[in-house]
Amino acid sequence: MNAFPWGLATGVGSMPGGDPREAAKTVTGSFEDFPHLPELPARGPGADMIGRTIGLLVEMYAHVEPSGWRISDRPGGDTRRARSWLGEDLDALEEFTQGYEGPLKVQAVGPWTLAAALELRGGEAALRDPGAVRDLAGSLAEGLRSHLAEVRRRVPGARVVLQLDEPSLTAVLRGEIRTASGYRTYRAVDRQVVESTLRDVIGVSEEPVTVHSCAPDVPFALLRRVGVGGVSFDFGLLTERDEEQIGEAVEGGTQLFAGVVPSTDAPLSDPAGSVMGVRTLWRRLGLNPGILTESVVITPSCGLAGASPAYARAALTHCVRAARSLADNPE
């Protein structure tokens, strides 16, 4: 049985602007059957995806340097601001989900993208130090466990789905993350270590976890091995090599969160046209058309932080209409 059998539409995470009530109202009004907790990075450091996740960590802290987020000995203003903004976002979500029952998605940065972005005290990425990565992953897991419990408390009828954002995962596996100097790269992390760490973090959720990446060459096979319930990706970046892995993932019950709607202002085709590529891929892979709507959730190609507010609203509505088109005519 598929992890997410509703076959609907949802967002990736980020939205434009800085008003949490307006964002929550837009998301819950657009995605009546699968809303998500909006992220508003335009507010500044602490509302960005890295800072937001740092605010979730347990007994680990960081502050903002010109080069990015760096580990601190104690919680400072940057950490407190990240936690405060998350609290405001949760307040707004709770307000607009009164009585809601169904799937509700929340997002956080995964352990490998976090390790590639968070600097140690000397300025190098945590990725450089296996011990630091283990500590970071453990802190993240504990923080996510508490966060998921808090969301369930605020929206007691919801089935809370965790999305881990891992846009740097492929670069970590290939040894393509640059050092602080920019002249070298950190060595590739052993695939078994990557899988084990992901498996540990994914294990904190009571529901199947989705991993999201807008980057090319998403490692579908690896993610399927670690037990994710869904993979969220930019459909326009797929290659022939990806397609074989996707076919195996779908047959194994993995949900596809297909990003088919542009994430920045662009003309929107008719909803049927937006999902034409999904139907074509299904036929080319010889997959059962009867499981198409159970296996695919329609999303924007990435977060909408760079879009205008008007376009963001239109894109969310378009995702819902495209998903409906797919359900009405799966073949």
pLDDT per residue rounded down to tens, the chain (331 residues): 445 545 599 999 999 999 999 999 999 999 999 999 999 999 999 999 999 999 999 999 999 999 999 999 998 999 999 999 999 999 999 999 999 999 999 999 999 999 999 999 999 999 999 999 999 999 999 999 999 999 999 999 999 999 999 999 999 999 999 999 889 999 999 999 999 999 999 999 999 999 999 999 999 999 999 999 999 999 999 988 899 899 999 999 999 999 999 999 999 989 999 999 999 999 999 999 888 988 999 999 999 999 999 999 999 999 999 999 998 876 6
- Residue 289 belongs to domain spanning: 20-328
Q: Does residue 2 sit within a domain? A: no
Q: Does residue 15 sit within a domain? A: no
Count structural domains, the chain: 1
pTM of the model: 0.95
Q: Does residue 8 sit within a domain? A: no
Work out the number of other CB atoms within 10 angstroms of the CB of residue 160.
20
CA distances to 84, 203, 314 from 25, rounded to whole Å, are 19, 31, 14
Nearest to 119 by CA among 187, 52, 50: 50
Taking the CA atoms of 138, 141, 145 and 147 in sequence, report the sign of the dihedral they define: positive
Q: Does residue 94 sit within a domain? A: yes
Q: Does residue 7 sit within a domain? A: no
Q: Does residue 186 sit within a domain? A: yes
Q: Does residue 13 sit within a domain? A: no
CATH number, position 49:
3.20.20.210
H runs (alpha helix) in 37-163: 49-54, 77-96, 111-117, 130-154
Q: Does residue 127 sit within a domain? A: yes
